[in-house]
Amino acid sequence: MSSNLRLRYEIDSFVVPGDRLGSFFKTTLPGPGTSARKGHLYASTAGRLSLQQQEQQSLITVTPPQEQDFASRRVILVGQIVLAKVDRVSWTQAHVSIFATETGGTLQYPTEAIVRREDIGSTVPVTHTTNTNSNNNNNKTSWQVIEAVRPGDWIVARVLSLGDTQRYMLTLAEPQLGVWYALSAKSGTVMQPKSWNTMVCPETGIEESRKCAKPRS
Amino acid sequence: MSQPWLRNRNHLFALCNLRTDGRKASEIRRMRFQMGVVEQVAGSALVEMGLTAVLATVTGPTECLRRADELPDRAVLQVHFAAAPFCTADRKHVPTNDRRFLEAARLVQRALEASIFLHLYPRSLIQIHITILSEDGGRLCAAINAASCAVVHAGLAVKDIVCACAAGGVDPVLIDLNRREEIDNINMACAMLPQRGTIVLSQCEARLPSVEALDRVLETAMDGCRAVFAVMEAAIRENAALQWSSKRGKAIVALSETNVV
């Protein structure tokens, strides 16, 4: 297998972008950090050249030494869980700003997003109970937006789609998604979740309606 | 020019076919590359070409400021050009919307767009901030070299390292003009992908006597770019090796002479 490879650089040597690594055949594939052009392999990043043997092919990769963990290098992906702050609430949707992504990193700029009223709660009941009262209490299929989130709340949501040209679309229709931090409207104290749809102020005891996120264990 | 010792020195240099700073016609200035000078960004580079010093930082790929600015198939590259008030002999504050800086930023953007694989980062924004710390001629070439080094340091996928150098004069053709030579001679800035041999940028704002002179100046500028590439490649390779060593906790920081010409 190694006789088919014609690399111009030794394995584990350092290459710079633009270096021609060699020709590639059916048994040689360009991996991350390389690019192919007219039957030749070129390095596209500065780093160390490595070779990974797969079943019948070889993968030529260039591993950069940079630790790519900067706050300015995070892009929102569909399906990610994000941390957002509620800016405005209307009758049909809530306007939020995304500040951080699931990997724990903050974005460089806050990004606009919306949570539609249909995406706050699940429209399919998760349990099949014969008790009508229990069913209504445990499976809320219709929300008023003001009952779920309020301006100033911090929510944990999942990116549903790219949305339109200005905003992403988020969803709260999962048990672990919802309001994660809220202040009491009366006293301004941080409220604690009492149930999945109620938050209570520890100072005044006033209960407010929220779509609470399931606490993480 | 009234001092006799200065007149004698110029005469002595002219007799030896040397320039006013002691270089031959085909020599580039002393270059120095430092990468990773700013720790808060993904890529940064400080480039000194003679007495011209330029700092470039690369931020990204990150989310666009406005969703309307996004492109669905590739990244958006933005270049911002600025100059420190102390970069010239007379201290003055140049606003960032100066037309010369906007033109220079646009030229640097076009030079780098020809090299970066922008289609690998769809719907994202790559920002490059260039600051001139000291100016002694050839600031566009120094800016392109600094931005190219910063992009490579940031780990972005590029086709080749963009190298830039200026050439001027007709007989003889000089390489890498300084500030005094820029005033008296024809000046042509040239940027190219050296391992592919492709010119990505060429700018000349002077009256050339003939087409053969244009060919001669352009060929000389490309030779200058290859000389710059030799220095830049050594610096990038050494920086990658140093980062790998420090990643394993075996870094021995030594001032080497390989990236100093």
- Res B129 pLDDT > 70: yes
CB atoms B161 and A18 under 8 Å: yes
- Res B77 pLDDT > 90: yes
Among the candidates A53, A68, A83, a domain finishes at: A68
**Do residues A211 and A171 share a domain?**
yes
Angle between helices B99-113 and B139-154 (to 10 degrees): 40
Query: Taking CB atoms and an 8 Å cutoff, what residues of chain B touch A166?
Result: 66-68
Residue B230: inside a domain:
yes
Per-residue pLDDT band for A152 (boundaries 50, 70, 90) equals very high
pLDDT value of residue B5 = 56
**Do residues A56 and A85 share a domain?**
no
* Per-residue pLDDT tens over the stretch B157-212: 998 999 999 998 876 888 888 877 888 778 889 999 998 898 998 888 787 888 88
CATH number of the domain bearing residue A41: 2.40.50.100
**Do residues A217 and A145 share a domain?**
yes
**Average predicted confidence (pLDDT) for chain B:** 83
CB atoms A44 and B159 under 8 Å: yes
pLDDT value of residue B94 = 81
- Please name which of A90, A94, A84, A100 lies closest in space to residue A120, comparing C-alpha atoms: A94
Q: A98 φ, ψ to 5°?
A: -85, 130
**Do residues A57 and A78 share a domain?**
no
Q: Are strands A93-100 and A34-37 parallel, antiparallel or unpaired?
A: unpaired
**Do residues A93 and A22 share a domain?**
no
Q: To the nearest whole angstrom, how far is the Cα of A190 from the nearest Cα of chain B?
A: 31
**Average predicted confidence (pLDDT) for chain A:** 77
B93 DSSP 8-state letter: P
Residues B211, A15: Cα–Cα separation, whole Å: 39
Residues B42, B62: Cα–Cα separation, whole Å: 11
- Please name which of A70, A85, A61 lies closest in space to residue A7, comparing C-alpha atoms: A61
- Asked if the C-beta of B203 comes within 8 angstroms of chain A's C-beta atoms, the answer is no
Among the candidates A39, A68, A97, a domain finishes at: A68
**Do residues A105 and A177 share a domain?**
yes
Residue B105: inside a domain:
yes
- Res A44 pLDDT > 80: yes
Coil/strand/helix, residue B234: helix
pLDDT value of residue B120 = 87
Q: To the nearest whole angstrom, how far is the Cα of A4 from the nearest Cα of chain B?
A: 25
CATH number of the domain bearing residue B105: 3.30.230.70
CATH number of the domain bearing residue A149: 2.40.50.140
Q: To the nearest whole angstrom, how far is the Cα of B60 from the nearest Cα of chain A?
A: 5
pLDDT value of residue A135 = 47
Coil/strand/helix, residue A169: strand
Among the candidates A26, A43, A68, a domain finishes at: A68
pLDDT value of residue B167 = 92
pLDDT value of residue B145 = 94
Handedness of CA B92, B93, B98, B101 (dihedral sign): positive
Per-residue pLDDT band for B148 (boundaries 50, 70, 90) equals very high
* Per-residue pLDDT tens over the stretch A113-141: 988 887 887 644 444 444 455 544 555 55
pLDDT value of residue B191 = 96
**Do residues A25 and A44 share a domain?**
yes
Residue A79 lies in domain: 70-217
Domain count across chain B: 1
**Do residues A94 and A197 share a domain?**
yes
Tokens of residue B13, six digits: 């240099």
Domain count across chain A: 2
pLDDT value of residue B179 = 78
- Res B41 pLDDT > 60: yes
**ω into residue B61 within 30 of 0, thus cis?**
yes
Q: In what order do the strands lie in the sheet with B76-83?
A: B31-35, B43-49, B52-62, B125-134, B76-83
The yes/no answer to whether this complex scores an ipTM above 0.95 is no
Residue B173: inside a domain:
yes
- Asked if the C-beta of B132 comes within 8 angstroms of chain A's C-beta atoms, the answer is no
In A136-215, at which residue ranges do the beta strands (DSSP E only) sit?
A: 154-161, 168-171, 178-181, 192-195, 198-200, 207-209
**Do residues A50 and A102 share a domain?**
no
Residue B228 lies in domain: 31-244
